[in-house]
Amino acid sequence: MSTNRSKEKYDSLARYYDQRWERYLEVTHKVAIDLLEPKGNDIILDASGGTGLLIERIISTIGDEGKFYLCDISKEMLDIAENRLIKFRNVYLSQQDVHHLDFDDSYFSKVLSASSFHYYTEPYEVLCNFHRILKHEGALIIVDWCSNSLHFKLFNILLRLLSKYHVNIYSSNELKSLIEKANFVVEKIINFKHGLWNLVGIRAIKQR
Ligand X SMILES: C[S@@+](CC[C@H](N)C(=O)[O-])C[C@H]1O[C@@H](n2cnc3c(N)ncnc32)[C@H](O)[C@@H]1O
User: Whose Cβ is closer to ligand X: residue 54's or residue 134's?
Assistant: 54
List phi, psi (to 5°) of 162: -105, -25
Q: Verify binding: residue 171, ligand X, rule CB under 6 A.
A: no
Q: Cβ of residue 147: shortest distance to ligand X, in angstroms?
A: 16
Q: Verify binding: residue 146, ligand X, rule CB under 6 A.
A: no
Q: How many CA atoms lie within 13 A of 100 on its CB side?
A: 5
CB 97 within 8 A of CB 1: no
CA distances, 204 to each of 33, 64, 110, 116, 139 (Å)? 14, 24, 10, 17, 6
Among residue numbers 81 through 120, which ones bind ligand X (CB under 6 A)? 97-99, 114-116, 119-120
CB 167 within 8 A of CB 118: yes
Q: Verify binding: residue 172, ligand X, rule CB under 6 A.
A: no
Q: Verify binding: residue 129, ligand X, rule CB under 6 A.
A: no
Length of the chain, in residues: 208
CB 66 within 8 A of CB 44: yes
Q: Burial code of 130-156, b = ≥16 C-beta within 10 A, e = fewer?
A: bbebbeeebbbbbbbbbbbeeebeebb
Give burial (CB, 10 Å; 0-12/13-18/19+) of 22: exposed
Q: Cβ of residue 108: shortest distance to ligand X, in angstroms?
A: 15
Q: Cβ of residue 16: shortest distance to ligand X, in angstroms?
A: 12
User: Whose Cβ is closer to ligand X: residue 41's or residue 124's?
Assistant: 124
- Number of shown-chain residues binding ligand X (CB under 6 A): 22
User: Whose Cβ is closer to ligand X: residue 17's or residue 184's?
Assistant: 17
* Closest-approach residue to ligand X (CB): 50
List phi, psi (to 5°) of 15: -65, -25
Q: Cβ of residue 207: shortest distance to ligand X, in angstroms?
A: 25
Among residue numbers 27 through 66, which ones bind ligand X (CB under 6 A)? 48-50, 53-54
User: Whose Cβ is closer to ligand X: residue 54's or residue 175's?
Assistant: 54
Q: Cβ of residue 27: shortest distance to ligand X, in angstroms?
A: 11
Task: Give the footprint of ligand X on this chain (CB under 6 A).
Answer: 3, 6-7, 10, 25, 48-50, 53-54, 72-74, 77, 97-99, 114-116, 119-120
